[in-house]
């Protein structure tokens, strides 16, 4: 294919190409290094790594797979946001429409199965990190960031679970959020709450306790749907992204993927 080859060489010589990729075209070790260093996405990585660290047998790629699934969730979730209204009138109908009206539509499926998969891979990633002892000094702090990421992943999945607004969604969230009622002091059925009184007035009741704050109401209703939607699509993803940035940065600062001394 001499024509294609010529075209390729021509493209690489253009000013446009050279303004994007800041290293020469030759396949040298120096340029391979620059390929990583001069790319904002790739520079999450160091230029060189210990061979054992990138072996499948060591990390199982589980952290990377979890991150990839998060990206898949962000992309598919964004597309779903175009069609979905977080209101009691429309939420369910929108989901049914996605199912019935979109030929070959699999965005909802990708989002839901991706979410399930992400929960499982994050657990397996934790298992790997434990079994290789990679939480030991100097990586104690990154393990802690990881635990927070695990909690956020579960919360993301929990808030998303409500959005289809069907029986499964509503009652799963009802069961899940009922626990908040029993929070010590701030849940109206929790220990200590009855003691919080001003004269005859109970300070903590079903209309202002922890569950009420979570659901924006006494029941899983319109308020809860909106709250969960905002948390699911903006609040938690933003926090998770910040923590992931810290997590990846720390992997590097702690000396790269762990290995025997």
Partner 1 sequence: MAFVDQIKDIVNWLSSPPRFFLLSVIAFFAVLFPGELGPAWLRRLTRPLAAIYRPRVAAVLFGFLGLLFFLSFRDPNFLLIVGKPDNVPIAAMIFLVGFFVWYSLQQGRLNDRLQESGQPVVEKQEAGDPKVLVWPDLVYTEFLCMILWTVFLIIWSIFLKAPIEEPANPAKTPNPSKAPWYFLGLQEMLVYFDPWIAGVLLPGLIILGLMAIPYFDTNPKGNGYYTFKERRLEIAIFLFGFVVLWVWLILIGTFLRGPNQNFFGPYEYWDAHKLVPLINIEFSQLMWVKLLKMPLPSNPMAREIFGLLVVGAYFLVLPRIMGRFWMKRHYEKMGPPRFYVMAFLLLTMLSLPIKMLLRWTMNLHFLVFMPEAFFNI
Nearest to 157 by CA among 144, 143, 176, 142: 176
Residue 172 near partner 1 by CB under 8 A: yes
Element (H, E) at 234: none
In this complex, which beta carbon is closest to ligand HEM, that of residue 186 or of residue 240? 240
Contacts for 89 with CB less than 8 Å, ≥ 6 apart: none
Residue 29 near partner 1 by CB under 8 A: yes
Residue 78 near ligand HEM by CB under 6 A: yes
Contacts for 170 with CB less than 8 Å, ≥ 6 apart: 162, 220
Residue 260 interaction partner, one of ligand HEM, partner 1, none, beta carbon < 5-8 Å per kind: partner 1
Please identify which residue in the block is written with the tokens 């899940």: 176
CA–CA distance, 22 with 16 (Å, rounded to integer): 11
Residue 224 near ligand HEM by CB under 6 A: no
Phi, psi (deg, nearest 5) at residue 234: -125, -60
Q: Looking only at residues 176 through 215 of this chain, which bind ligand HEM when binding is defined by CB under 6 A? A: none
Encoding tokens for residue 193?
């709450």
In this complex, which beta carbon is closest to ligand HEM, that of residue 73 or of residue 209? 73
Residue 75 near partner 1 by CB under 8 A: no
The alpha carbon of residue 222 and the mean position of all alpha carbons in its chain are separated, in whole angstroms, by: 25
Residue 78 interaction partner, one of ligand HEM, partner 1, none, beta carbon < 5-8 Å per kind: ligand HEM
Residues at the interface with ligand HEM (CB under 6 A): 59, 61-64, 66-67, 70, 73-74, 77-78, 80-81, 84, 95, 108, 111-112, 115, 118, 122, 125-126, 129, 132, 134-135, 139, 142-143, 146-147, 149-150, 153, 156-157, 160-161, 163-164, 232-233, 237, 244, 247, 251, 257-258
């Amino acid at each position: 294919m001499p024509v294609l080859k010529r075209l390729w060489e021509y493209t690489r010589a253009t000013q446009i190409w050279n303004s994007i990729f800041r290293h020469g075209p030759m396949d040298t070790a120096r340029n391979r290094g620059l390929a990583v260093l001069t790319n904002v996405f790739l520079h999450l990585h160091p230029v060189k790594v210990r061979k054992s660290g990138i072996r499948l047998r060591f990390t199982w790629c589980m952290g990377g797979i979890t991150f990839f699934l998060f990206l898949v969730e962000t992309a598919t979730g964004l597309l779903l946001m175009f069609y979905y209204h977080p209101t009691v009138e429309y939420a369910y109908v929108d989901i049914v429409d996605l199912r019935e009206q979109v030929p070959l539509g699999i965005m909802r499926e990708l989002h839901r199965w991706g979410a399930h998969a992400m929960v499982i891979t994050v657990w397996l990633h934790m298992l790997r990190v434990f079994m290789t002892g990679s939480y030991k000094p100097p990586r104690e702090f990154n393990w802690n960031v990881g635990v927070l990421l695990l909690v956020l992943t579960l919360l993301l999945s929990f808030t998303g679970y409500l959005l289809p607004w069907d029986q499964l969604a509503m009652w799963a969230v009802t069961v899940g959020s009922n626990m908040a009622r029993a929070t010590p002091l701030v849940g109206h059925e929790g220990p200590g709450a009855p003691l919080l009184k001003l004269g005859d007035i109970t300070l903590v009741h079903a209309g202002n306790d922890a569950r009420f704050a979570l659901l924006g109401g006494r029941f899983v209703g319109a308020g809860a749907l909106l709250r969960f939607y905002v948390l699911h699509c903006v609040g938690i993803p933003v926090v998770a992204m910040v923590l992931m940035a810290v997590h990846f940065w720390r992997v590097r600062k702690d000396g790269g993927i762990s290995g025997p001394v």
